[in-house]
Structure 1
Amino acid sequence: MGGVSLQPEMEEESSDLQLEEDFLKKLKDKYCCKLKEDIRCTLERVIEQENKTIWRDRETPEKDEGFLHSQFPMDIWTNLKGSIVGSAAIDAQLKQKVISSCLQELKDFPKRFEAGFRLHCSALQPEPIWTEYQITYINSFTALQQHMEGYRDTCPAEVEDLKKETDGLIFRLSQGLEVQFKEDVELYLRRMITRKWLTDDDDFKQLSRRTELLSKHCALMRPPHNQDFASRLHYHVVQEYIGQLMKKNFSCKNQRHERAASKIRKQWEELRDLFEEMNSAHEWLYDVGDELSVIVEQKNKRDIKNHLETLVKHYPDFCKKHLVAVLYFRGLIRGREHQLILQKFTELKKTQGRADEDKSHVLFRDMQIPAKTDCFSHLPFSCLSSLLPDN
C-alpha cells in the first residue's frame, strides 16, 4: 500500500466519511417518532393496568397523605424523565425535541383515559366507589400536570396545551360530583321553610347527612380543587335554602315566627359548621341565615326596621321584593308597620347606594319570587294609612 504506484489513487479518495447534510436532523426526527410510538403504547398500558387492578374488581383507591390517588402519574413522569435525561446526554437540541414529543403525545392522554374510565365504570354511578374514583382522578391528573410544569420553560406551548386538557378533565369530573350532590339534596332543600318543616326535622337531617358525606369527600381531594368544589356547593345549598323562604310557601301566624326563626338559626349553624370544616371560601355567606332570623324573630314588628341595615350592607342585591317575602314569612303581610318597614328599607338602599357593592357577592338576585298576590303591599304608605289597620 505504500508503493509509489498506489499513492495517486489514495490521494484522490477522501479518508473522511461523508454524510448527507441533513442526516442528523433526519436521525433525530426518526428517534422522536419512535419515542412517540413507545409513549403511546406506554399510556395505553396505563389505562389497561388501571382497569386490571382497580376498575375490573371495583377496588378501593389507595391513599397518599390522606388523599385518594393512583400511582400512574408518577410512573408516567418517571418513564418520560428517563427518555429526557438520556437524550440530554447526547445533544441539547435533541433533549428539547424529546421533551416536545413527550408532551405532544401526553396531550391526548386525558381524553383517552376518560373514555376508558367511563366505558368500564359509568355503570357504578351513583355508588360511593364511583365518587371515590372521580376524586382519585381529579387528584391524579392534578399531580400529572404538576410534574409536567417543570418543562414549561423549555416547551411552554406544549405544557399549556396539556394543561388545557387536564383542566378540562378535572372540570368534567368535578362537575359530575357536583351534579350528583345537587340531585341527592334537591328534594330535601325543596322541603325547607314549609309548614311541615316547622314541625318535622327528618328532611333537614337527610340534608345534613348528605352534607356531612360531602365534607368527607372533600377531605379526600387535594388542594386547590377541594376548596373550589366545597365553595361552589356551599353557595348552592345557601341559595336553595334561603330561596325557599322567598317562595312564600307559608306565613308564620299566631307567634310561630319565633319558633321558625330559632329553627333557621339552629339549622344554619349546623350547615355553617360543615362548610367551615370544608374550608369554603365563601365566608360572606355564613351570616345571612342569622341576619334573616333576626328579622323573623322580632316579637314587636315595630322593631324590624331597626335590624335592616346590616342585611342591606352585607347583601347589596337584597331588594324590596325579597324583604316583602321575608315579612310574609314573618306573618306581616300588610298594614301601617309593613309600609314603614319598606319605607325604611328604601331609605337604607338609597343611602347605601352602589358604592360598597361587591359584584362577587351576589346571592338574592336570581332567587325566584312568586308573582304578587297582594295588590296593596307595594302601594305608598300615604295611600294606605287611612285605609288599612295594623296586623
Structure 2
Amino acid sequence: MIYSCRANKTKRHSQKILQIIDHQLQFGINLTMDKSPTSPKGGFFRRLSSIRKSGAHIKRKLSMSRQPSTLDENENENKDIKETEIPPKPCSVPMIRDYIKTDELRKAYLNLLSLNLELQQERETLEDRASAVDLTNKETDLKMLFESLGNKMSDIVRSSTQPSFNKELLEQVVKIILDEEKKPGMMQGWREKWREAVRDGVRDTLKKVDLDSPKQNASWLAVHLGLLGKAVEDDLEKVKEELLNIYPPDFNVFETYVSCHHKIMEEHLKGLLEQVTESKDYHALLDFIVHHYASDVKKEQKAIEQEQDFISKIKNAYHQRLMEDFKVALENIINIERDNMWKMKKTPERTDDGFLTAEVHMDICKLIAAYARNLKEIDETLEKSIVRFCLEELHQFHIRFAEEFTRHTSFLLTSDLLDLCLWVQYHITYINTFHSLKDLMQCYKENCSAQVEQLEKDVDELTQRLRQILIDHFKNDIKPYLNGMMTKKWLKTDEDFTEVTSRIENYSGLCKSMRNPAAQVFINDVHYYVAREYVSQLMKKKYSCKKNKNEEAACKLRTQWKELKKLFNEMGSSLDWLYPLGDYLSDIIGMENKKSIKDLLNPLVSNYPDISKKQMSAVLYFRDNSQLLSLEWHHVMNQFDLIKRDTGNILPERNFFTDIK
C-alpha cells in the first residue's frame, strides 16, 4: 500500500515535471543556473537550444522509465530512429494529415510515434470518465492516421514502376518500413503489406495493356500477348535499373517482383483462357507461356514455370479444338469438291507430267503438317497425339468421301459421252490423289506406325474400289460386243470387234492420266478381262465351223488376237504370258490334218495347264462338231489327258481357264 502510494506519487511528480518542461519550452524559459546575460554561454538562442535539448532529454528519460524496453542500451544507440528525431510533443491531427497528403511521410511518421507515446502516457494517468472519452477519440485518430499513412505508402510502392515514380518518396517508405521492423509500432506486418502493394502494382500494369475483342481484331490475343510480354519486360527492367538500389538486400526486390509478375500473369492468362474459342488463340496462348513469358522470367529467375494443371488445361482444350477443326476441315474438303467440281462438271487439273490430280491430298497434308509444326515448337507429346488423331480420322474421311463422290457423280453416267468421259476422269483423278496421300503420309510412319499402316490399308481399299468401278463400267460397256464373238455374224463382219477395240483405245488414252502402280493394275485387269471374255466365247459352243470354215475362223481369230496384243502392248500390260494363247488356239482350230492336232496340244497345255478337258472339247467343237465322235478326236483327247497328267503344278498368277465359267 505504501509502495503503491509512493509509485503514484512518483508518477504524478514525473508528470508535473514534464508539464513544467513543456510549459518552459513553450515560452523559452531558461533552466540553467547561469543568469548572466553577458555570459559567453548565456546567450538567448544558445540557452533556448539548451532548454529544448534538456527538456527533451528529461522527458524521454521519464517516458522511458515508465515503459519496459525491448532493446538494451547498446541497441538503442544503434537504432535508425534517433530519440532526438521524435518530436517531444506531436503536432495536431490535422497537421499530421496534411503531412501525409503532401507526401511529408517522415514528418508524419515521427509525429505519429510522438502521438503514440503521448497516448501511452495519458493511459497511465487516466483519472476520470471524461478523460477516457478524450483518450478514445485520440486513439481513433491515431489509428486512422496510421491507416492513412499505410495507404499512402502502399500507393507509392504500388506505383513505383510507373513513369510518375518518385524516388525520394519510395526511400521514405523503405526507411519507415525498416524502422517499424526494428521497433514495432502501429504498423506491424508491413513487409507483407509491401508485397501486396507490389502485387497490386503489377496487376495495374497488366490491366493497362490494350486488349481488343475478337470482333475488333481477329488477332486480338496474339497482339495482346505481345504487348503483355513487352510490358512485363519493361517492368522488370525498371525494377533492376531504378528500384534495386533503394531497398536493402534482404527485401529480395527483384525476386519479389518476378514472383508477383508470375502470379498476376497466371491470373490474367486464366481470365484470357475463358475467352478463347479458336485453335489459333490456344496456340498463341501456349506459345506465349512456353516461349515468351516463361523464357523471359527464366532469364531473370532461373526456375519459374506455370502451374502444370493450368498448362495441361490449355493443352487439352487446344487438342480438343484441333480435333474438331480437323473434322470440319475434312468435311469442307468434300464440300468443296462437290460444289466446285462435281456439280459444276469441272474438268480436273493436270500435273506438269500429264497426270490428272486434285488438291485433296495436298490440303490434308498441309493441314496435318501445320499442326505438327506448330505443336512441335510447344510440346512434342501434344504434336504426336494430334498427328495420330488426324491419321485415324482419315479412316472415316475415306468412307465419307467415297459415299459423297458416288452420290454426286452418278448422274454423269446417264448423260452424254462427254459426261461419261468426265466421270472416268474423276475416278482416275482421285485414284491418283489418294495414292499420293498415302505416299506423303510415310513421313509419320516412325512415330505413328499403326496409324500409317491403317491409312495405307484404307487408301488401297478406296483406290481399289474406284478402280473396280471403272473396270465394272468397262466390262458392262464392252460385254455385249464380246458376246458377239465366235458366232456366224462374227465370222462375216468385224462390227462387234471394232466396237471392242474402240472402247479399249478410249480407256488406253485415259490410262495415260493414271499414275502407277494403279495404272499398271488397271491395264492388266482390262487386258485379262478382254482376253478371258474373248476366249470364253469358244467355250460356249455357240457356233461350229462347217465346210472348212474352221480355216477362215482361225485366220480371223489370229488377226484379232494380234490386234488385241498390239493394243495392250501399247498400253503397257505386263501380262505377256497371255500373248501366245491366241496363236495356240488358232493353230488347233485351223489345222487341216486332224491327226496333227495332237502335236499342238503340248505348248497349249504346258503354258496354260489349268485348261480343262471340257474346255478343250469346246475348242474342238468350235472347229467342227461333226467329228467329235470320231477316232481321231478320241486320240486327241487321250493325248490331252496324258499331257495334263505330266504337266507340273499350275502357277497361281497363270490361272486363266479356271476363271472361265
Q: TM-score, normalised by structure 2?
A: 0.53
1: CA distance, partners of 2:623 / 2:348: 50
2:447 aligns with: 154
Q: Distance in 1 between matches of 2:192 and 2:480?
A: 100
Tell me the equivalent position of 1:106. 394
Identity %: 39
Following TM superposition, by how much is the alpha carbon of 1:177 offset from its aligned partner in structure 2, in angstroms? 0.7
Q: Give the structure 1 partner of residue 337 of structure 2.
A: 50
Which range moved further: 225-234 or 256-265? 225-234
Offset, 1:56? 2.2
SS at match of 2:350: strand
Q: Secondary structure at the match of 1:125?
A: helix
Aligned to 2:300: none
Could you say which residue in structure 2 is the equivalent of 1:125? 413
Please say if 1:96 is aligned against 2:391: no
Q: Tell me the residue number matched to 2:375.
A: 87
The 3 A distance-change label for structure 1 pair 363 and 106 is closer
Deviation at 1:221, TM superposition (A): 1.0
TM superposition shift of 1:173: 1.2
- C-alpha displacement of 1:168: 2.5
Larger relative CO (CA 8 A, sep 6+): 1 or 2? 1
Match of 1:343 in 2: 638
**What is the aligned counterpart of 1:78 among 363, 366, 381?**
366
One-letter identity of the residue aligned with 1:43 = L
Q: CA deviation at 1:109?
A: 1.7
Find the counterpart in structure 1 of residue 101 from structure 2: none
**What is the letter of the counterpart of residue 345 of structure 1?**
F
Counterpart mapping for 1:178-189 below 5 A: 178-189=471-482
The equivalent of 1:389 in structure 2 is none
Q: What is the SS of the residue equivalent to 1:229?
A: helix
- Measure how far apart 1:45 and its partner are: 2.3
Is contact 1:305-1:345 (8 Å) kept?
yes
Equivalent of residue 334 in structure 1, options 621, 629, 642: 629
Question: Which whole-Å deviations, capped at 9, do the CAs of 1:295-318 have from their partners, x for residues lacking one?
Answer: 111111121111111011001111
| Residues 1:308 and 2:308 aligned together | no
Q: By how many angstroms is 1:139 displaced? A: 0.9
- Partner of 2:401, secondary structure, is helix
Q: CA deviation at 1:233?
A: 2.2
Residue 78 of structure 1, CA deviation: 1.7
Q: For 1:270-306, what per-residue CA distance to the aligned partner results, in whole angstroms no more than 9, with x for missing partners?
A: 1112222222232221111111111111111121111
| Pairing of 1:116-265 with structure 2 (within 5 A) | 116-125=404-413, 127-265=420-558
Residue of structure 1 aligned with 2:315, choices 9, 28, 38:
28
CA distance in 1, matches of 2:571, 2:457: 27
Q: Contact 1:108–1:165 at 8 Å: present in 2 too?
A: no
Encode CA deviations 1:32-72: one digit per residue, 9 max, x unaligned.
Answer: 11112222222222222223322222111111121111122
**CA shift for structure 1 position 356:** 4.1
Q: Show structure 2 runs of 5+ residues with no match.
A: 1-173, 182-188, 196-250, 264-304, 415-419
Unmatched runs of 5 consecutive residues or more in structure 1: 369-391
1 CA distance for matches of 2:659 and 2:360? Answer: 43
Aligned pairs (5 A) from 1:265-344: 265-331=558-624, 332-344=627-639
Does 65-74 or 14-23 show the bigger shift?
14-23
> Is the Cα–Cα contact under 8 Å of residues 32 and 101 in structure 1 kept in the other structure?
no
Alignment equivalent of 1:40, drawn from 327, 337, 341: 327
Query: Normalized per residue, which structure has more helix?
Result: 2
Opposite residue 635 of structure 2, the aligned amino acid is L
1:7, CA displacement in angstroms? 4.1
Structure 1 contact 228–281 (Cα < 8 Å) conserved: no
Equivalenced residues, count: 365
Instruction: Quote how far apart the aligned CAs of 1:102 are.
Output: 2.4
The amino acid that maps onto 1:340 is H
- Structure 1 residues 315-370: Cα deviation after superposition (integer angstroms, max 9, x where no partner): 11112222211111111422121111112222222222xx34212211112433xx
TM-score by length of 1: 0.87
Report how far residue 222 of structure 1 moved.
0.8
Name the CA distance, whole Å, in 2 between partners of 1:117 and 1:336.
Answer: 61
Q: Aligned residue for 1:382? A: none
